[in-house]
Amino acid sequence: MLRRVKSEINLGLKEKKEISIFVSLSEIQLTMYRNYLKTKSVYGDSRTQQSKPTQLRKICGHPYLFSDI
């Protein structure tokens, strides 16, 4: 099995930079987000869904993955 030794690796690489870009929510995302916080449902009715952080993340990232949207 081949392995690299620390002395063989190029340590002259530049440090990584972390860049954060903040984008506001679209109208549909904002409506879904507010509905979820008020009623615990994306659709604005009594349909319940589970994991709150997961649902909010889905709304921000991919709102069209929900059915009926």
Rg (CA), the chain: 21
Q: If you write DSSP's letter for every residue of 15-55 in order, what string do you get?
A: PP-------PPPHHHHHHHHHHHHHS-TTSSS---S-HHHH
- pLDDT above 80 (res 19): yes
Mean pLDDT on 33-37: 86
| pLDDT tens sequence across 46-63 | 555 667 888 888 888 888
Domain extents for the chain? 24-69
Amino acid at 21: I
Tokens 């990584």, residue? 16
- Cβ 45 vs Cβ 39: under 8 Å: yes
pLDDT of residue 51: 79
